């Protein structure tokens, strides 16, 4: 396996900037996930690494070798697509062996590699079947097998799970993660699904409109988002946002929104005292908005009055939609928390879990 490096990579289609100045260092054996909404440039980035798309500018390295001008077949990487397109008239064995035959790999070597891949993927009993005799999940595994037998320097995967139903997707996600560990593979994986990114990635690259927003571990992306876009793209339900102002009151730094104030904790005051007077957006995740009377009474500085809009019982918890001024704030409450619609309740924020973003640039204030 090998590292993959992108340096100042650009791709323009006419006047569309599909990818703008992307710099990435994918370490050997890393599982790096490119995450972002549809159209943000994920596939284009992957296709440039594969050599299927020319760069408008910049360079790409696989290991120490610059490959920007190298033909796709000579880059020694394997790509797995969403549409795995197996050859319908070939058996599972033949589908996996085909690429190696084309490369004139000796037959015993082909047999060894196909058998090994089939073992890893649990396809051993299916080698004589045709694709139409397989389930969707099995077909996807054959597509992975086809990539594995190549013993490539790196795997490129473009939304490989999105054609599977929800249950199978979860199962295959776990398998892929195991496969990564077992093969010690370098994987560049594209998805618009934040759960896939959070569960599989050693690091996540969040993209928007062709521009990298943040490169970080799942923990870093979730707990220290660099801007409002990253903050709201990752996490379900999404992070709550409240527009307001930072104000100084005595020695304290307050956040003022819709006629109410909360006192920000000392750690935020130390960081943000320069920002007093600024218009900001406060961010707080639903699990950090508390409704239990214990938490609320213990945190008088961080209380807010809110009107109950909807209570959604989820079984293990209740999702509570609250109105604060014109904004809806979602709170995850325990399943024994009840209130009537229209009730005015007091919630309290977890001060250690607050985020503040500049109202103009939407960048996190740190």
Ligand X SMILES: Nc1ncnc2c1ncn2[C@@H]1O[C@H](COP(=O)(O)OP(=O)(O)O)[C@@H](O)[C@H]1O
Task: Decide if 35 contacts 191 (C-beta within 8 A).
Answer: yes
| d(C-alpha 274, C-alpha 118), whole Å | 60
CB of 298 to Mg ion, least distance (A): 47
CA angle 96, 98, 101 (to 5 degrees): 125
Q: Which residues, 27 to 66, sit near ligand X by CB under 6 A? A: 36, 38-44
Is 43 an interacting residue with respect to Mg ion (CB under 5 A)? yes
Is 18 an interacting residue with respect to ligand X (CB under 6 A)? yes
| d(C-alpha 206, C-alpha 197), whole Å | 10
Rounding to the nearest 10 degrees, give the CA dihedral for residues 126, 167, 288, 324.
140
Is 110 an interacting residue with respect to ligand X (CB under 6 A)? no
CB of 172 to Mg ion, least distance (A): 18
SS3 229: helix
137 binds, among ligand X, Mg ion, none (CB under 5 to 8 A by kind): none
| 77 vs 348 by CB, closer to Mg ion | 77
CB of 5 to ligand X, least distance (A): 19
Task: Decide if 192 contacts 228 (C-beta within 8 A).
Answer: no
Burial class (CB in 10 A: 0-12, 13-18, 19+), 119: exposed
Site for ligand X (CB under 6 A): which residue of 8, 12, 16, 312?
16
Judged by CB under 6 A, the number of residues near ligand X is 11
CA angle 172, 236, 211 (to 5 degrees): 85
Is 87 an interacting residue with respect to ligand X (CB under 6 A)? no
13 binds, among Mg ion, ligand X, none (CB under 5 to 8 A by kind): ligand X
Is 83 an interacting residue with respect to ligand X (CB under 6 A)? no
| Among 43-51, 207-215, 288-296, 306-314, the segment contacting Mg ion (CB under 5 A) | 43-51
152 binds, among Mg ion, ligand X, none (CB under 5 to 8 A by kind): none
Task: Decide if 355 contacts 364 (C-beta within 8 A).
Answer: yes
Provide the binding-site residues for ligand X, judged by CB under 6 A: 13, 16, 18, 36, 38-44
């Amino acid at each position: 396996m090998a590292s993959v490096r992108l340096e100042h990579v650009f791709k323009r289609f006419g006047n569309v900037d599909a990818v703008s100045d992307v710099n990435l260092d994918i370490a050997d054996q890393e599982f790096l996930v490119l995450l972002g909404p549809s159209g943000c440039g994920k596939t284009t980035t992957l296709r440039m690494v594969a050599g299927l798309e020319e760069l408008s500018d910049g360079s790409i390295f696989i290991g120490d070798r610059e490959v920007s001008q190298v033909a796709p077949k000579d880059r020694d990487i394997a790509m797995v697509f969403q549409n795995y397109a197996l050859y319908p008239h070939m058996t599972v064995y033949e589908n996996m062996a085909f690429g190696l035959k084309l490369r004139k790999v000796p037959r015993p070597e082909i047999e060894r590699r196909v058998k090994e891949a089939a073992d890893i993927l649990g396809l051993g009993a299916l080698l004589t079947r045709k694709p139409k005799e397989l389930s969707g999940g099995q077909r996807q595994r054959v597509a992975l097998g086809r990539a594995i037998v190549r013993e490539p320097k790196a795997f490129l995967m473009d939304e490989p799970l999105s054609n599977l139903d929800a249950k199978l997707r979860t199962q295959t996600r776990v398998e892929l993660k195991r496969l990564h560990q077992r093969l010690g593979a370098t994987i560049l994986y594209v998805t618009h699904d934040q759960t896939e990114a959070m569960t599989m990635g050693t690091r996540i690259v969040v993209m928007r409109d062709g521009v990298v927003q943040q490169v970080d571990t799942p923990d870093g992306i979730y707990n220290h988002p660099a801007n409002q876009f990253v903050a709201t793209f990752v996490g379900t339900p999404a992070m709550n946002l409240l527009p307001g102002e930072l104000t100084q009151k005595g020695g304290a730094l307050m956040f003022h929104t819709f006629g109410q104030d909360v006192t920000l904790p000392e750690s935020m005051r130390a960081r943000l005292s320069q920002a007093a007077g600024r218009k900001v957006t406060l961010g707080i995740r639903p699990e950090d908005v508390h409704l239990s009377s214990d938490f609320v009474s213990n945190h008088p500085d961080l209380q807010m009055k809110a009107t109950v809009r909807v209570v959604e019982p989820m079984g293990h918890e209740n999702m509570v939609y609250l109105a604060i001024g014109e904004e809806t704030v979602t709170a995850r409450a325990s399943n024994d928390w009840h209130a009537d619609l229209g009730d005015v309740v007091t919630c309290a924020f977890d001060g250690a879990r607050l985020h503040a973003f500049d109202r103009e640039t939407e960048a996190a204030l740190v």
